[in-house]
Chain A
């Protein structure tokens, strides 16, 4: 037993302390968070635009929205990331992490748009009719009546999407960004130890997502509480 603990201690030292390797992981956490946060913002903006396209009566907008969702959902996110990084932004000088965030935002937007669309469609048609019958225009009815009610249905699914997104970013190593996953991988190659860095990577992701989940649950509970009437 003591031998095992000693062994664990020395591998832990080799993987995380020696040559300041924990700093790699720390900066990896920073990259993951930066990319995820910006991607979430871009994803929500694109998601709203595509949802509006999909819900509109305008044929061309509907087609554009349909193609977007179809293409994004039909191709792997690694492929999308690499196309955006090596093809579309090949000659554009932007920070790597920003390009990655744009790629994940574009990907997430397709899923967010479906979440928003489903949330809006879950509101009874009578609500829209009541708003329109009072003389509100389509936009006023949406913003004053439908969306405020739809938010409560959209929020939990959106939280889930954020969590998926954070884990998706573990592929940014493909375009040379050193995030948590890549840092763990790097340590594995440098030390020839697989167990410790990979489990460490998993633990870091788990804790990050646990913290986020707790925060989001609180917000959701507050939303529900405001609605307990």
Chain B
């Protein structure tokens, strides 16, 4: 579903990604771990071109998306993104946050979009919040709305950029639960996170990225249970 070939990303003079090759298959839940500054968030952001790619190729459904001729907006509609800082639209209600893109881009009628929004909010236990504004919600609720907003576009792939890092500890669980349900439903997911327990439980595959390259890749059992790379061992010994 996603193929990444020799991906390089350089900021100014800093080379953040130094050649990443990855295949992500449909239905996979790939959890990306690694120390801060390792390039894992940059890798994720390159996947939907929030960062321009310096060199290399990214294919989504066999289409090279970093070709300048490709309509980025159409590709992004297939890929939902959830941010660390939620990035809800503060001037819109929860329902408007969710229905904005489907109405604008999928030419859905407002009624259909609201119906879809209610279904999503009910699924995430936020039914009574549809007319609230983001500022009235807790962090965990905000992040769940952000997930609902991305799901409203009916994406094929969901990208999560440290979705629980900005949350108070007691709210991490509610967001992870939503993500677990999503994984169970067969959604293809790429998740950058520091939640090792979650990675172990939900991931079909774990990628350990450090110094801009994939150091190790395997099932959670392999990576957590029997890491091969020295850096992986070192990292895990610090975080586990």
Contacts and interface: CB of A to CB of B under 8 A. Distances in A.
> Chain A: interface secondary structure?
helix
Interface string A187-229: 0000000000000000000000000000000000000000101
A71 to B, nearest CB: 32
Interface in A122-145: 124, 126-127, 129-137, 140, 144-145
Interface stretch (B61-69, B85-93, B114-122, B217-225): B85-93
Given A126-B85, A229-B135, A229-B136, A136 B50 contact: no
B91 A133 contact: no
Given A127-B89, A129-B50, A137 B100 contact: no
B59 interface: no
Contacts of A149: 89-91
Interface residues of B, number: 27
Contact of A144 (B77, B90, B104, B133): B104
Contacts of A148: 91
B74 interface: yes
Interface residues of A, number: 19
B76 interface: yes
Contact of A136 (B85, B104, B146): B104
Given A127-B89, A129-B50, A134 B83 contact: no
A227 B89 CA distance: 13
A229 B135 CA distance: 7
Contacts of B135: 229
B100 A144 contact: yes
B81 interface: yes
Contacts of A132: 50, 73, 76
Given A135-B101, A229-B133, A229-B135, A130 B87 contact: yes
Contacts of A227: 91
B90 A134 contact: no
B105 A135 contact: yes
B73 A137 contact: yes
B105 A130 contact: no
B232 interface: no
A136 B73 CA distance: 6
Contacts of A129: 50, 81, 83, 87
B81 A133 contact: yes
Given A129-B50, A229-B133, A134 B89 contact: no
A121 B81 CA distance: 23
A140 B73 CA distance: 11
B87 A135 contact: no
Contacts of B74: 135
A127 B104 CA distance: 17
29 contacts: A124-B85, A124-B87, A126-B83, A127-B87, A127-B89, A129-B87, A132-B50, A133-B79, A133-B80, A133-B150, A134-B76, A134-B77, A134-B101, A134-B105, A134-B149, A134-B153, A135-B73, A135-B74, A135-B101, A135-B153, A136-B101, A136-B104, A136-B105, A137-B73, A140-B104, A148-B91, A149-B91, A227-B91, A229-B136
Closest 9 A/B residue pairs (Cβ): A135-B77, A130-B87, A133-B81, A134-B101, A126-B87, A135-B76, A229-B133, A135-B73, A137-B73
Given A133-B150, A136-B105, 17 more contacts: A126-B83, A126-B87, A127-B87, A129-B83, A130-B83, A133-B48, A133-B79, A134-B149, A134-B150, A134-B153, A135-B105, A135-B153, A136-B104, A148-B91, A229-B133, A229-B135, A229-B136
Interface of A: 124, 126-127, 129-137, 140, 144-145, 148-149, 227, 229
